[in-house]
Structure 1
Amino acid sequence: MTRLIFSLLLFTLTYQATHTFAAIRWCVISDLEMQKCQDMKASFRHNQVGTIDCVRGTSTSDCMSKIHSQLADIVTLDGGDVYIAGSQYNMVPIVAENYGLDFGASYYAVALVRNDSQLSLKDLKGTKSCHTGIGKTAGWNIPVSYLIEQQFMRPQNCNIPLSVGNYFSKSCAPGALSSKYNPYGNNPSNLCALCVGDASGNNKCARDSSERYYGYAGAFRCLQEAAGDVAFVKQSTVFDYDKQNSSYYRLLCKDGTKAMPADYKKCNLAKVPAHAVMVSAKTNKTMRQQLINMLMSAQNIFNQNATFQLFNSSKYQVSGRTGADLIFKDNTKRLDGLGTNSTYVTYLGAEYVAALATIHSCPKPLRICAVSSAENKKCLAMKAAVKKHPVLFPFIECVEGQSSLDCMQKINRNLADVIDLDTSDIFVGGEMYNLKPIMAENYGQGSGVTYYAVAVARKQSSTISLKNMRGAKSCHTGINKTAGWNIPVGLLLSKNIMPRKRSCDVAYNVGSFFEASCAPGALSAEYNPIGDNPSNLCSLCVGDSNGKNKCARNSNERYYNYAGAFRCLAEKAGDVAFIKHLTVNENTNGKNTASWASNLKSDDFELLCEDGSRKPVTQYTQCNLARVPSHAIVTSSLRSSTNQIAYKNLLQRMQGIFGTVGTDKSFKMFSSKDYTSTSGNAGKDLLFKDSTIQLEPLDSAATYKSYLGNNFLGALNATNYCKSSALMTAKISFGIPALLVVLNFLISSLMVRN
């Protein structure tokens, strides 16, 4: 234990020495911004303001992803991107731009036309529009939400870009055809029809300054050059880029009138939050304050008289293009620190969040995350089946992940929407990735949305019992699975049947207790990040039919999950299988026609009870390890309530058509036998458990904690599960912060013992 503590301590000190005091990595989205960032880096260093490095992102969303993945630290974003960064990438604002006068850290979104225009806000349909960028505040979110709220523009098929494309005849909405904002490739091309790209005609409709009609300056230029009829910009845009000719333009007012550009206070679409500097919410408050202090000092040094100016971009050029609004908006007068407790919701305010809710209210296709090739096959079949029924909306999209953890991360990063998880994975998803359950599987037989975790042995192996299984061979559904790992291992530890040779290393204890096992995932990077799990945890595993994917924590491993663990027992690889109470019945007496199961009889197997006795497999209510919540469909708790309701409604309608008593037998939600895995065998428990009778919607207020319940949470966190459940969490997350938590725990434990 002492050696482990000091190894972790050495690792921690090394990590802190190389990371805590490293340069702040500022993410930029264009070559022009990179030029300015390099100058900022040199100026900061020369004036001893701070140390920064410049990271080139391909877009604002790419910068958010880099910060979320700890590849960058800081970025400046507009209000629309602040919302996305906060809600999808767990970021927080620390500093806001202040534009002087009486705006403070805010500005006005306006609709601008030429002075000879006869247009008003209510008759923009069929005109040509200039936007700062898709998803931008003044250029997209505010005008589009206003047009929808006033019912001038009607949402079509819950597709906002399609609605805008059908409303305007042509537009330049930079980024509208990019993969981030057009993930399904169905945004109308006319959203980019007015865009011109760079001086060479490249990068057309890019959501950065390589598109000449991007941003405030670009949208105004689109109007100025008569490409568009209306430009959605901010109140200062005319004065920033064509002050001497400001009388050539008019603002469109909500009452149907027009006004001079100087009358923006009375004639605007909304007053909205200013652009903000954002960091990961994982950045501790001390570091946040240090960053705020750095920027406050910088603005005092790099003013209008300095060689380098924070709020001036005119000196930077690429291919004849002069920079504008690089890193910070050029009309920024000062920066305001927001403190260390600011969130994207408190910063944006209720009015703007409500406007964004209008934009994001229509759910996009439901992206289901599959964890194997077989699951993806079933998902694609389900997608095709859903499209045949007009009442089923939104549509289905399939996202293939490498594992349950990978899918949790994808949902957290808004790359997928839902996945079906067992209770232990629900705990991890809730703790680490902000996931929540929205529907639970009901297996019938009066169990409701619960099931029993059981230990099963072959009847002829009469010597093995729960009290006498040291040195046996064990079959597990997967490492850190509920019925297959957490419940039985926790019980064996709590009863002192399994020795705690290493009090906080469950995998080591299991490997030392059983002679050999198949615990799928036990040697994977996600669950064995430092490579010290015993190899015998995978020695019984067989992989697929080609001998590949051995011990994978998905259906490519033939001994994975309930059916796989039971197969491991049935084929006499193992002596005991930890599964759920329905598994034996599902795979015996002709219920499973696969070659390995076709001749199995349920009477050939028995349950192992806590008191050391055995009972028939039908007596699971009297002989089980625990009754636990069933598997559940989870999504991100950051998804809007509208989206969560849409997901539940779709799944309920789907089971009415494709479920146990569904009307369309061409696809079966709760059957997987038609989808073979790389093992060559019929699928089992793909996407949903095959034993599911129906999905039960959960209350909208449900959280992972309320669903799992105090008994289950207590079992996970109790000292009898492991002296520190934090170690297990750290191994799952394989993140440095988690290891630091574990180190603190171990040190405190050592001090107590000494």
Structure 2
Amino acid sequence: MCVPRIFYKDCLDLLEKSMGIECVAGRDRVDCLELIENNKADVVALEPEDIYYASTMNASNLRVIAEFRFDWSRNDEFEDEDVILIRKTLKINSFEDFKGLKSCHPGYDAPFGYKVFSFLTMPKLERELEAISEFFWHSCIPGTYSNDRIYDQDLKSRFLNLCKLCNNPIDCSNNDKYASYDGAINCLHDGYGDIAFTRMSSVKQFFNIKPENYIIFETGKNYMNEYEYFCEDGTRKPVNSSGCSLYKRPYRAYISNADIVNNKDLLNYLQTNLTRFFKNGLVNANVNVGKNLLIDNGMVLYQKYDDDVTPNEYISDFRYFMELNDIPSERIRLCMALTNNIRPKIECVFSSETDCFSTVANNEADIGIAPIYKWKNMEALPIKFNNSDVRARNAACALNILLKRTNCDNMTIENDVEYEEYIQVIISKDRHNYGTDKSLLCLNLMYDRLGNYIICQLEKYFQNDNTYGLHEYGIEEFYDIPDELYNLFEENFN
């Protein structure tokens, strides 16, 4: 049995005398796959994501020989299935009809929910929080949007409606009452949402449905008939049915090679010893030993004696979800220096800091990493603004002060003057009139995207009435303000 090198001792702990298994250390599970493909190891335990990678290796020798199922769902074909639960009275016929509805999601980091829905319904460039915020009326998408606390608050303040349905919309954290797959159902059932993105297992548990025959216990009958599964093709299915899922997650599994699978005596011998090894993982006094080898409490080993299943066949229903996430199958090209032993394989493309952007633009690299700079010649750029609008004129004046150049009394540059390069003062609601290739210039003289106008603007820092301010969101001012600029806004905007 091949295991990652860091778990080699755990493997030894689960061996017994006379057990026909020997532990072999690989660099990681991917390395173990290569050892099995080359007949240098016989079996490895893998997560579904690892099996997906195995399906991309063009390895003809790999086979799935056993699954890590749970005792309460041992007869289910998949570990779990992600579903959409709706109120039966909801009049919708397609995903497009979800627009403007109230939605409950398991969380920001959950693999299912708003992410999969955006993949299915929105153009690639719009797969982000802004698109979901504009699509749904109100939602609960709890979690940590960014590990940077200030940026996390920033995102949640810009997309307030994404936390509106949460039990604590200000915090909007993973500890919320409506976080998790179970929480999403409660969000729907408590009357806050119209639809819930959740999992089949959570639905069965919520309605007390016995998995084998879809029998509903008495405690679930009172409200089960209020809901239905909504399918991708616009049809619906009862809650007490096999349902319809957007994607199916397979079980963890043991992978071996074709030579063993094609030799029935050898396969039976391996599976018999795997069963003993697996049981030892369940009863070991140190629960982490089993977990490190993917063996969790409540699991049973489901042997596949007669099936000759390749990773590609095993992962077919899961592949849909993985490829929606655009996971590279072989390698990515990254414009920077990196260390060894990184997977997927990375090819280094060396370039100067300023050329990395053009290298990516010319498809000579997939990722470019370089320092963020202010525009080197920003001080020399003219400012175009509407001189008849006092707010626009004051904003232009404020920018002049920030750039430490001419005083405001001498400004004469207006909108009707033509320049090849310039800074344009605009009203936020008109931002889309200037094209998607433009960026906002913030108070710290750094760039930001057009959608971040609530944060990236001048006036908001000086408002006491919250008309443009962020006090209502609990966000503090980010930058030190020059006294003369602060005084300017005090005089003109308050």
Give the alignment's TM-score, normalised by structure 2: 0.42
Q: Which has the higher contact order (CA 8 A, sep 6+)?
A: 2
Give the alignment's TM-score, normalised by structure 1: 0.30
